[in-house]
Amino acid sequence: MSNPRPITVITGASAGIGMALARVFARNGHELALVARREDRLHALADEIAATGARRPIVVAVDLLKIGAARLIGEALAAQGAEPQFVVNNAGFGLVGLASALDRDEQLQMIDLNVRVLTELSLAFTESLARHCGGLLNVGSMAGFLPGPGMAVYYATKAYVLSFTEAMHSELKPRGIRVAVLCPGPVLTEFAERAGLSRRSMGPSFLIKSADDVAEAGYRGLMDGRRTIVPGAINKLITVLIRIIPRRVVLGFVDYRQRRRRSARRS
């Protein structure tokens, strides 16, 4: 195949931040490949984007937890004469509860999706990202800056995403590839619902951002070549304070907040 056209691959595009990111990239002239399991939602979003006059996104309905998902995505794009210019790793989920009490298999699936799949897709297309002077945006969380009793496995996966992506920023920068990690605080999305987080348990309203605001911040930060993107001035300040405050104090505060969340879920 000669001269494949550049495309932006967005995983977890069927809802929440992923859907908002798809709209932002499309609005800024990027052709998209939408990736998720729920094919009906992907087609609905593709129709919405096409109705704006943009080229209709490629829909890739795939279970990312299946081994070889990156290969399947690459083949689907190649069949359409395209290859990645940007990869946005948004797919992931979290669970609230004590690690020892939550379903073990579901927690291992969380590690698989939040860590293994993200790593696979981050590395699978570096050659085409370099060819098109593109980039990689991994969706992390402010949780990546913290220990997380009450969501221990989820917080640990996001710590990996933060560390891995910051390292990839340095490794791929000489090749002209922009790499950034997007670390939002609380966002009202299906992700929060699956994690068992109610609006009441997510914290003060001034910390909560909309998926649209987070997506805009992520896009701007990636295009500006930033390494770590934390939407919201107060959230940025919190990530700075976390590095200064003694770890035992941070751990105690998170433990207290998570116990309150579990109490709110029961009430």
- The set of catalytic residues is 154
187-224 burial, b for 16+ CB within 10 Å, e for fewer? bbbbbbeebbbeeebbeeeebbbebeebbbbbbebbee
Pair 97, 20: CB distance under 8 Å: no
Nearest in space to 7 (alpha carbons), one of 17, 16, 22: 22
153: tokens are 């496995």
- Do the Cβ atoms of 162 and 143 come closer than 8 Å? no
93 near 68, Cβ under 8 Å? no
Give residue 164's identity as a one-letter amino acid code.
F
